[in-house]
Chain A
Amino acid sequence: MQFRLLRNGRMGKIEIQHLTKDFPNRRRNARPGDDSGLQFGDRIEVLRDIDLTFDRGEMICILGPSGCGKSTLLKIIAGFENPSTGRVLIDDKPVCGPSSNHIFVFQHSGLLPWMTVWQNVGMGLRHMPGNGQRQEKIQEYIDLVDLTGFENYFPYQLSGGMQRRAELARALAVNPDMLIMDEPFSGLDFLTHMKMREEVVNMHEFIGKTILLVTHNIDDALIMGDRVVLMSGRPSEVKLMRKLAFEHPRNYEEEPELNELREELYFMLGVSYAV
Chain B
Amino acid sequence: MSFQFDLDHIYAQIRTMKAAAENLARKGESFPALDKNTRRIMASIKMLEINICDLIELDD
The yes or no verdict on A and B being binding partners is: no
Interface residues of B (CB under 8 A from A): none
